[in-house]
Amino acid sequence: MAKKRKKAYEVGELDQYLFGQGNHYEIYKKLGAHIVKNGKTEGVYFAVWAPNARSVSVVGEFNDWDTQANPMEREEPLGIYTCFIPGIKQFDMYKYCIETYKGDLIFKADPFAFHAELRPGTASKVYDLSQIKWSDAAWMEKRKNWDHKKEPMSIYEAHIGSWKRHPGREDEGFYTYREFAKDAVDYMKYMGYTHIELIGIAEHPFDGSWGYQVTGYFAPTSRYGTPEDFAWMVNYFHRNKIGVILDWVPAHFPRDAHGLADFDGTPTFEYQDPRKGEHPDWGTKIFDYGKNEVRNFLISNALYWVEEFHVDGLRVDAVASMLYLDYGKQDGQWVANKYGGNKNLEAIDFFKHLNSVLLGRNPGALMIAEESTAWPMVTGPVEEDGLGFSLKWNMGWMHDFTEYMKLDPYFRKDNHNLMTFAMSYAYSENYILVLSHDEVVHLKCSMLNKMPGLGFDKYANLKVGYAFMIGHVGKKLLFMGQEFAQLREWSEERELDWFLLAEKEHQAVQNWFRDLLHLYKKNKALYEMDDSWEGFEWINADDRYRSIFSFMRHSKDGKKNLLFVCNFTPMEWADYRVGVPRRKQYKLILDSDEEQYGGNGRKKQPVYKAVKQECDGRPYSFAYPLSPYGVAVFEF
């Protein structure tokens, strides 16, 4: 008997083969719910992978959630269940009713759903992505030749639900994707950011997880609108020359009954052995990176955000927890690999595959690792046994920097190396310097309240710290609110304390950080040789007793170089002498003493001429009045 010929939208033999091999990079176009025409009849084609289920049916608004009304047909060899249901429309809600091997009925959201019901509801919604219109062709074309190693990147890490809210509304007052885009673009252009990194975009049931416990990997959260609204936001950022990065969470997923956990009544997406398949600290499940279909689910999801929604990069959360089998576990809670070690060989292969495919198909896109250990070659090429990421968060710098900044200035001289050590490994990876949301929650204090002292000292400390960060090698990331010295820790339950900008101290910090970002964007010396020893040079890395750091940043053509002097104590130096390489004129282009930055407003001469007087091991030098916690940036 001849086999029934498959329609174009149906899961075919080739689809099953590629999915089974882990190489079906657009499997989301076949699995999930898709509005199609079966002959002249319009409806929805459903397909779900549930290999150990006894049976599966589709339940929803359209059949009064009747478990018998729309049974699905099992396709071998992978156990994909499919059916076509006529008459279903956009936004109709549905779930899969799965009969487990034990005979229990469980109700699951669609792992490949493009849209989801607003929490606390947990159903999936039918959604057609083909209606989305784009007008960012110029940005997408330019992206193909964009090289992150040679371009500035100042990233504004933001959470839409707590950036701003509409006051007095009965609901939470969330900004929609479109409202957020319009306001955030204006603000970011004013401040001088190049990229926005959004946390909490993939659908998640619990606000307090900040989006790091995902139940809908293919669904932009419905808290702020539809997938079309999300696309409109990305499009709007691009038209205003701002790149969009999303936080992406392939490390783990929650146990929520409607989510991926024990999807068909057995560990489907997670490792079967709980010693490999569960995070005891987080109470979550760990993806089985050894299973081809699971790897395919994750890789196709990463490609989906970049290719369907034009996202410019993914920041991959909790990479270390994936690389180490014993991460966050005690003896007896983990299983060694086949060589007896603690490396997850399957996760390593997954990263190499993921980064090769995504960056190979999308030149100019970014893959960014949040990796907190000294794992080698995170941004090294896969061909040389690296993991193939574009950039890595510099967690070591962040830890040393915040520890130093918390110290009373009197004790900084004994911890001087905390600020210089990062330069000893600065070129081992392609780094981003980060002061992220993780540093301003859970009683860690806001950036301002990490600073020692009272009043003026707190604000001045923060400003000199930010100047050091912008001058240092590496791309930059700062979490929202810290650019104007938010007093309180961040909470997802309220908007930022924008009212603080009515106070001159907070306005001064914002002015300072704004002008630092514009300085960074304007001067190639601060970014075009971030991956080369030739781009950074200490003038004096050892002035520990005065806790002053001086260094130069060089441009490739040598025409426009910068000299930074940063004073980390309240001591004033009427004529701080700094060594310089040439007998040139040094033009003061940024001075923290200016009134708009909260300084004393004392006028300084605009240009300083170096004289032949040895200092800091250099043949020439000039003297400059350096104020308490003073910062001076010179161009030469």
Residue 572 in domain? yes
The pLDDT confidence band at residue 145, using thresholds 50, 70 and 90, is very high
Q: Cα separation of 109 and 324, whole Å?
A: 30
- Burial of 103-139, coded b for 16+ CB within 10 Å and e otherwise, reads eeebebbbbbbbbbbeeeebbbbbbbbeebeeebeeb
Which residues are paired to 57 by β-bridges? 71, 97
Give, as one character, the DSSP assignment of residue 374: -
Query: Looking at the annotation, which residues are catalytic?
Result: 317, 370
The pLDDT confidence band at residue 499, using thresholds 50, 70 and 90, is very high
Residue 284 in domain? yes
Q: Cα separation of 183 and 196, whole Å?
A: 13
Residues 449-489 pLDDT 10s: 999 999 999 999 999 999 999 999 999 999 999 999 999 99
In contact, 388 and 336? CB cutoff 8 Å: no
For position 54, what pLDDT does the model report?
98
Percent of the chain with pLDDT over 90: 95
Residue for token pair 């030739």: 534
1 pLDDT higher than 60: no
Residues 384-399 pLDDT 10s: 999 999 999 999 999 9
Among 55, 75, 108, give the residue marking a domain's end. Answer: 108
Residues 6+ apart with CB under 8 A from 515: 590, 597
Among 345, 361, 391, give the residue marking a domain's end. Answer: 391
Among 62, 88, 108, give the residue marking a domain's end. Answer: 108
Q: Classify strands 93-99 and 124-125 as parallel, antiparallel or unpaired.
A: antiparallel
Residues 341-392 pLDDT 10s: 999 999 999 999 999 999 999 999 999 999 999 999 999 999 999 999 999 9
Question: Alpha helix (H) ranges present in 164-291?
Answer: 177-191, 227-239, 274-277
For position 3, what pLDDT does the model report?
66
- Reported pTM: 0.96
The pLDDT confidence band at residue 2, using thresholds 50, 70 and 90, is low
Query: Which tokens is 179 given?
Result: 């409202």
Residues 44-56 pLDDT 10s: 999 999 999 999 9
Task: Please tell me the total count of domains within the chain.
Answer: 3
Residue 123 in domain? no
Average pLDDT value for residue range 276-280: 92
Residue 170 in domain? no
Q: Cα separation of 364 and 497, whole Å?
A: 35
Residue 198 in domain? no
Residue 113 in domain? no
Residues 244-266 pLDDT 10s: 999 999 999 999 999 999 999 99
For position 554, what pLDDT does the model report?
96
Q: What sign results for the dihedral spanned by CA atoms 615, 617, 618, 619?
A: positive
Q: Which domain holds residue 590?
A: 533-635
CATH code assigned at 627: 2.60.40.1180
Q: Cα separation of 109 and 94, whole Å?
A: 8
- The candidate with the shortest Cα–Cα distance to 205, out of 127, 282, 128, 123, is 123
Q: Cα separation of 316 and 334, whole Å?
A: 23
In contact, 362 and 142? CB cutoff 8 Å: no
510 pLDDT higher than 70: yes
Residue 78 in domain? yes
Residue 93 in domain? yes
